[in-house]
Amino acid sequence: MSKVLARWNRLPAEEAELEVLACCGSSAWARQLAAARPFAGIDSLLNHSDQLWSRLSPKDWDEAFSRHPRIGERKPPAAASAQSASWSAQEQKPVADATDSLRDELARANRQYEQRFGRVFIVCATGKSAQEMLDILRHRLHNDDATELLAAAEEQRKITSLRLQKWLSQ
């Protein structure tokens, strides 16, 4: 068992919630995950996280989405924790290294997405180039509202899983 997980299993509920909130951004998810402790290992934690995420409401999903910076934007939203902002910067490094014109295209597409869907565009950026993220964004602009909500939720689930693994490996 991870030392981080063993320590987290013993924390008071409120501390445990706060510690994992940076991994997802949904208060309901963090509260329910902390309440489900103790976890025997990383796999059981990750599986339970996925199950919790799939049962949350769109309002809870939107809370998590709102804690992400726009793809290509260096400044995190005010609601993002320092740890979440740091992870976002690492995950979006390919965008920071992209050309000015590509970053401008991403900014325009982000604005279109937000006008269309009323929320920030969510994509699991890990391992993707700036061009890939722009292509995904443009493709998802064609989704209907329900399809896009599920696509964004799935991307957030992937982000949460990766961040939980990063947190547990500290």
Is 142 exposed, middle or buried (CB count within 10 Å of its CB: 0-12, 13-18, 19+)? exposed
Q: Cα separation of 25 and 66, whole Å?
A: 8
The token pair at 107 is 């900014």
Out of 48, 68, 139, 142, pick the active-site residue. Answer: 68
The token pair at 5 is 């997980």
Contact 95, 71 (CB under 8 A): yes
Q: Cα separation of 33 and 142, whole Å?
A: 34
Q: Cα separation of 27 and 11, whole Å?
A: 17
* 68 is an active site residue: yes
Contact 50, 162 (CB under 8 A): no
Residues designated catalytic: 68
